[in-house]
Amino acid sequence: MTKNRMMTTVATLALTASLVLPAAAQDSFNIAFIPGVGGDAYYGSVQCGIEKAAAENGATVQTQAPSSFSPAAQIPILETMIAQNPDAIIIAPTDSQALFAPLKAAVDQGIKLVLVDTTLADPSIAVSQVSSDNVESGRVAAETLAELLGDREGSVLTVNLSAGVTTTDDREKGFAEGIAAAGFNYLGQEFSDNSVQKADQIVSAALLANSDLVGVFSTAAFNTEGAVAAIRAAGRSEDVVVVGFNANPPGIEQLERGQVAAQVVLKPYDSGYEAGLQAIAALRGEETTPVIRTGATVATKDNLSDPEVSRYVYSFTCPQ
Closest to 295 measured CA to CA, from 318, 311, 278: 311
The predicted model gives 158-177 an average pLDDT of 94
For all residues of the chain together, what is the average pLDDT? 91
Cβ 192 vs Cβ 159: under 8 Å: yes
CA angle 138, 244, 241 (to 5 degrees): 105
| Residue 282 identity (one-letter amino acid) | A
The predicted model gives 280-285 an average pLDDT of 98
Percent of the chain with pLDDT over 90: 84
Which helix or strand (DSSP H or E) is residue 128 part of? Answer: strand 128-132
Domains recognised in the chain with CATH numbers: 10-133+267-295 (3.40.50.2300), 134-266 (3.40.50.2300)
For the stretch 139-154, what's the b/e string if a residue is b when 16 or more beta carbons lie within 10 angstroms of its beta carbon?
A: bbbbbbbbebbeeeeb
- 3-class DSSP state of 31: strand
Q: Residue 9: what pLDDT?
A: 38
Task: Report whether pLDDT(243) > 70.
Answer: yes
- For residues 199 and 230, what is the distance between their CA atoms, to the nearest angstrom? 8
Q: Phi, psi at residue 177, to the nearest 5°?
A: -65, -45
- For residues 165 and 119, what is the distance between their CA atoms, to the nearest angstrom? 8
Q: Residue 7: what pLDDT?
A: 38
Q: Residue 320: what pLDDT?
A: 74
CB atoms within 10 A of CB 164: 17
The predicted model gives 52-67 an average pLDDT of 97
Q: Residue 11: what pLDDT?
A: 39
Q: Residue 5: what pLDDT?
A: 40
Cβ 92 vs Cβ 114: under 8 Å: no
Q: Residue 17: what pLDDT?
A: 37
Q: pLDDT by residue (tens digit) across 288-318?
A: 999 999 989 999 999 999 998 988 999 999 9
Q: Residue 27: what pLDDT?
A: 66
| Residue 235 identity (one-letter amino acid) | G
Q: Tell the burial category of 198 from Cβ atoms under 10 Å away from its Cβ (0-12, 13-18, 19+).
A: middle
Lowest mean pLDDT among 20-34, 237-251, 290-304: 20-34
Closest to 252 measured CA to CA, from 231, 221, 217, 226: 221
Q: pLDDT by residue (tens digit) across 83-133?
A: 999 999 999 999 999 999 999 999 999 999 999 999 999 999 999 999 989
Q: Residue 16: what pLDDT?
A: 36
The predicted model gives 208-219 an average pLDDT of 97
Task: Report whether pLDDT(150) > 50.
Answer: yes
Higher pLDDT, 184 or 319: 184
